[in-house]
Chains A and B, each alone.
Chain A
Amino acid sequence: MGRGFRIVVLIKQVPDIEKVKFDFEVGRIDRSSAPAETNPFDLHALEAAVRLKEKFGGLVTAISMGPKQAESSLREALARGADHAILLTDARFAGADTIATSRALAAAIKKLGEFDLILCGEKTVDGDTGQVGPEVAELLNVPHVAYVSEIREVAGDKIVVVSDMGDKYLCEVKLPALLTVTRELNAPRLPTLRDVLSARKKRIEIWDADALADYEDPNRFGINGSRTIVVKVVVPGTEKRKGIILRGGDAVEKLFNILEEGGFARP
């Protein structure tokens, strides 16, 4: 790898899950109630990419698919050390399930050309599926390792990682490959003011569905390319819980009695 590492990082902009409001009556997510942020898991993928670049040289490209405002997450990726950023944005990408999303991302990576490593978060905080990483790997016909909690070493065209599958396994994988990473992998550094300022001057490339037409049929993106549809969304209430607050000086004794009656504090 005389030219250094070519690394692609997949980034998703998500609503800040701490602040997003859910309408329990109507069963609706009020996306406007929360500011957008970069999927927290993806920041760990980006940090790993930048560290590899610092050690071995190379180029980090951040790719995101989403509406125009997802540019701000790519701007953040540039501030955190990505060299290039590409936003896939087009009404024809909208409404995509994981397979349609993966097709667009895989097509964009093919268009970029050669790569050694693709890094992404193990899942996103809005979709929670964790499917896009392995699906992209399959569409690009490269091996993947999921739940990577440690990168041990890079030797030649191989990378050795720890995969946290409950038990932890040491895995060696031949490059090019894709890794999905856990939050345990590293602690993402905060960009400096200078990083933020210089990121503002960088250009974010915008690709639409036609830009990917040489690599995938544009009819297979977005809602048209999706294989699953959401029939309805229910916001579960909290009605099931008893919500009994035990008060007074004997509150602990009351709690103890409840545990004992429940058979939890048997002699």
Chain B
Amino acid sequence: MIGGILVYAETIDSKIHPISFELLGKAREIAEKLGLEVWSVIMGFNIREHARDLIYYGADKVYVYDDESLKDFDVVMYKDVLVKLVREIEPEIFLVGATPLGRSLAPRVAAALDTGLTADCIDLQVDDEGNLIQIRPAFTGNILAHIKTMSKPIMSTIRYKVMSMPTRDENRSGEIVVKDPPKKIDTGIRILGRISRRAVNITDAEVIVSAGRGLKKREDLKMLEELANLLGGVLGASRPLVDEGWITKDHQVGFSGNTVKPRLYIACGISGSPQHLAGMRDSQIIVAINADPSAPIFRYADYGVVGDLYEVVPKLISMIKRVKGVGGS
């Protein structure tokens, strides 16, 4: 029997989180190297129809748990289902997205299975001896650790948006295995409801214009938001502004906020603390605007403008407006 790499397909509001497809792409690549199959597991309520999508993105076999008892994310219930499945099908490797859900769920599964778990990996490689090497940042993103797991299954959570999205291939075929729903038990957890939605999904933004301590007052965020809008992007912020209550945490970029990887990141009045860098250092193009020429952010930037953001940003805004043909100036 051929072994497999199991991929946890995360669902949110009965839809598949795109991290699941990224994981399938990576699993496919590792599976080819190690001679394994790619398996996936999906659970929730009214999610059955998505099983085929997982095959189109690379799964050979999909295990489906579709039941009303799995509608809400009850971490204990979900854990029980996964532990039972892993014991039954014995995958070599088990990958979970490093989303808030994945990072709450995977450690419980690993502890129950008494196996190693590597958090928030940004790459997976196979070494010359056929070992899986898991690469992850630590020390607030200042180092990269290469980690090997000595137990089975090897478990990792993988950061969103670091693996490339595989191509959807509707000609791919695979097997769908519908599993019995778990017995309903009282886990002690009740999800009473969603009380707020993330206002912006900054991790999905292609362009981010971020504000830092160089900003003098809350109202000035409007200026940066205008720049962000003109560039088709969203407004970000470093932690001090969130702590001040100027902007909500959805916008926070950095170690204790969101990790982002946009095509363009413009840091305005941000000095570049290790915490902030940890959240944006993988952006494709980094632009820094800061009055202090010795600010660390310039060492991490592709383009830097040493200057007062209150002069630079309005000038930039009017130039973009001119080419876009909006506004008076």
Contact = CB atoms under 8 A, between A and B. Distances in A.
Given A18-B273, A234-B146, A259 B151 contact: no
Interface stretch (A67-75, A87-95, A250-258): A250-258
Given A226-B116, A252-B312, A172 B75 contact: no
B162 interface: no
A265 B306 contact: no
Nearest to B134: A228
Interface stretch (B25-33, B169-177, B212-220, B316-324): B316-324
B133 A231 contact: yes
Contacts of A262: 263-264, 285
Contacts of B142: 17, 20, 22, 29, 235
Given A227-B151, A251-B305, A27 B191 contact: no
Interface stretch (B40-48, B52-60, B87-95, B105-113): B105-113
Contacts of A18: 273-275
Interface stretch (A3-11, A110-118, A121-129): A121-129
B75 A99 contact: no
A247 B306 contact: yes
A129 B119 contact: yes
A246 B304 contact: yes
A214 interface: no
B188 interface: yes
A221 to B, nearest CB: 14
Interface stretch (A56-64, A141-149, A197-205): A141-149
Interface in A156-213: 160, 162, 164-174, 177, 180, 182-184
A171 B101 CA distance: 14
Given A135-B107, A258-B303, A129 B120 contact: yes
Contact of A242 (B136, B149, B303, B307): B303
Contacts of B249: 164, 184
Nearest to A22: B142
A264 B207 contact: yes
Contacts of B190: 171-173
Contacts of B116: 97, 99, 226-228
Given A97-B116, A99-B114, A255-B287, A165 B147 contact: no
Most buried by B among A167, A246, A264: A264
Contacts of B75: 134, 143-146
Contact of A171 (B105, B145, B191): B191
- Give the interface SS of chain A, mostly helix, strand, loop or mixed: mixed
A227 B137 CA distance: 18
Interface string B103-140: 11111101110111111100000000000010011111
A145 B76 CA distance: 10
B310 interface: no
Contact of A233 (B146, B150, B191): B146
Interface in B253-291: 255-256, 263-264, 273-275, 285-287
B148 A229 contact: yes
Contacts of A259: 231, 264, 287, 316, 320
B290 to A, nearest CB: 11
Interface residues of B, number: 87
B329 interface: no
Contacts, number: 253
A163 to B, nearest CB: 8
B82 to A, nearest CB: 12
A140 to B, nearest CB: 10
B301 interface: yes
B101 A165 contact: yes
B2 interface: no
B299 interface: yes
B79 interface: yes
A256 to B, nearest CB: 4
Contact of A264 (B149, B192, B194, B231): B231
A170 B193 contact: yes
Nearest to A106: B111
Contacts of A145: 75, 189
Contacts of A41: 256
A102 interface: yes
Contact of A134 (B107, B118, B275, B299): B107
Given A130-B103, A243-B302, A235 B133 contact: no
A227 B149 contact: yes
B178 interface: no
B120 A170 contact: no
Q: Which 3 A-B pairs have the closest CB atoms?
A: A227-B116, A174-B188, A129-B119
16 contacts: A17-B275, A20-B139, A139-B111, A143-B187, A170-B195, A171-B192, A173-B189, A231-B146, A241-B302, A244-B303, A251-B306, A255-B312, A264-B232, A264-B263, A265-B323, A267-B325
Given A134-B111, A137-B108, A238-B300, 17 more contacts: A17-B274, A41-B256, A99-B116, A128-B119, A144-B108, A170-B191, A171-B190, A227-B114, A227-B150, A233-B146, A243-B302, A244-B302, A246-B305, A252-B312, A264-B231, A264-B232, A265-B320
